[in-house]
Amino acid sequence: MKIIVLKFGGTSVGSIQRIKKVSKIIKSYSKKYRVIVLSSAMSGTTNKLINMSKKISENFPDNEYDTLVSAGEQISCSLLAGHLAAIGLNSRSWMAWQIPIITEGKHKYSRIKYINKSKILKFLKSGGIPIIAGFQGVDKYLNITTIGRGGSDSSAIMVAKFFKADRCIIYTDVEGVYTTDPNKLNSVKKIKNISYEEMLEMASLGSKVMQPDSIQDARLNRINIEVKSSFVNKSGTLITKRKNIINNKIITGISSTDNDAKVTLLGVKDRPGIAASIFKPLSQNSINVDMVVQNISADGKQTDLTFTIKSNDLNKTKKIIYKNENIVFKKLIFDKNVSKVSIIGVGMITTPGVTFRMFQALARKNINIQVISTSEIKISVLIKSKNASKAVKCLHKEFKLDK
């Protein structure tokens, strides 16, 4: 029999009733496949554990953080395996160290390097249904590690890779991937098929269906992912390679953020390597810089440099810049009331005029653009947060995503 990997998110296993519902889904697949299940912690559990660590110390050790937050998956996996056993199925829970799932990298941000398949394969051949804890692994010294928030998706994809699974299905509380956030616009449409590249852009730009790292893992390993709801029995969205998709739309989806901040250094003394001097310490402190705009003065001696970061990194960024002795500038200003709105679609590669249509649609609504960035399949603009909803709505209509 072929192997299928099923991953259930926190809301899908968020209560005893939900766990019983999920058990029925797993049982239905067990008739046709050898099933491997990945489970997240019950919704809210990880946040409770993190809050506990903060009450202990604002500098809670990273290794103990991993040990603490990985406990959430242990609870959900045990409850799920226990209910499967109660309805007559051979199931047991597996923590990462029991398999083991080997990771590399820093605590809190590790990546899965290798999965020892022997114990799980033996259990599958005996008719068992393993319930594996997502989001966690162990390093070469057998210390517990975690692979970042939302890491259970990455766990599922890497399990699908190592076990050469026929299918990988991510169960969540939404029916699939939509043209934009359904909480922000009523006229959204569910996307039937989307490319890895488009999904990666949407995830990076604010879509909360899946984490960007997990999409990248799927793209690199060419693993098809189906995203669907555990709450209703409906088809979901297939994330796959471009050549598998037939789509006549120029734009596939629109994303917007509500957690960006704009930072501007005015009057920076310009010299070769100044940008590297600014961004190197930010990189060393795991601060991700996104949109960047540089304006050189007429005499070429000074520059104004603007970039965006996540708003929760703003205080850390300010401290780093003020302490940076390698740069000279006149003033540092920042703005937390900004949002990034992006249109994404592989269709824009071969379609002229997309940029014009986007800017014209925004101009008609008197929405001013502060910063622009582009890639092969994406155009992003930074605007005032108060205009984000209006921008998404007019762009959704402009590119006929509601049709």
Rounded Cα distance, 151 and 251, in Å = 28
130: Cβ–Cβ under 8 A, 6 or more apart, which residues? 36, 37, 91, 92, 93, 94, 120, 123, 124
Q: Alpha helices of 57-147 — where are they, by DSSP H? A: 62-69, 71-86, 118-125
- The whole-chain average pLDDT of the chain stands at 93
Q: Per-residue confidence at 190, pLDDT binned at 50, 70, 90?
A: very high
Least confident of 15-19, 199-203, 224-228: 199-203
pLDDT in tens, 77-94: 999 999 999 999 999 999
Q: What are phi and psi of 16, to 5 degrees?
A: -60, -40
CA distances from 310 to 49, 204, 275, 339, 375 (A): 23, 12, 19, 10, 20
Over 70: is that where the pLDDT of 206 sits? no
Beta-sheet pairing, 331-344 with 378-384:
antiparallel
Architecture of domain 3-173: 3-Layer(aba) Sandwich (3.40)
Per the DSSP assignment, residues forming a β-bridge with 266 are: 331
* Whole-angstrom distance, CA of residue 313 vs CA of residue 174: 29
Backbone conformation region of residue 150, classed left if phi is above 0, alpha if psi is from -120 to 50, else beta: left
Residues 6+ apart with CB under 8 A from 304: 264, 265, 266, 267, 268, 294, 295
With 70 as the cut, is the pLDDT of residue 250 above it? Answer: yes
Place of tokens 């500038």: 329
Write down the pLDDT at residue 403. 79
- Band (pLDDT 50/70/90 cuts) for residue 184 is confident
pLDDT, position 235: 93
204-214 mean pLDDT:
76
Whether residue 207 has pLDDT greater than 70: no
Residue 212: asked if its preceding bond is cis (omega within 30°), the reply is no
Residue among 213, 219, 217 at smallest CA distance from 194: 219
Encode pLDDT of 25-55 as tens digits: 999 999 999 999 999 999 999 999 999 999 9
Whole-model pTM: value is 0.84
Residues 6+ away with beta carbon under 8 Å from 165: 2, 3, 4, 5, 36, 159, 223
**How is residue 315 written in tokens?**
């205080």
Give per-residue pLDDT as tens, 271-287. Answer: 888 899 999 999 999 89
| Structure confidence by residue, pLDDT tens digits, 333-382 | 999 999 999 999 998 888 899 999 999 999 999 999 999 999 889 999 99
Does pLDDT of 203 surpass 90? no
pLDDT in tens, 98-140: 999 999 999 999 999 999 999 999 999 999 999 999 999 999 9
Residue for token pair 């693993």:
223
**pLDDT over threshold 80, residue 322:** yes
The DSSP bridge pattern shows strands 3-8 and 34-39 to be: parallel
Q: Domain limits of the chain? A: 3-173
Strand partners, 225: 168, 239
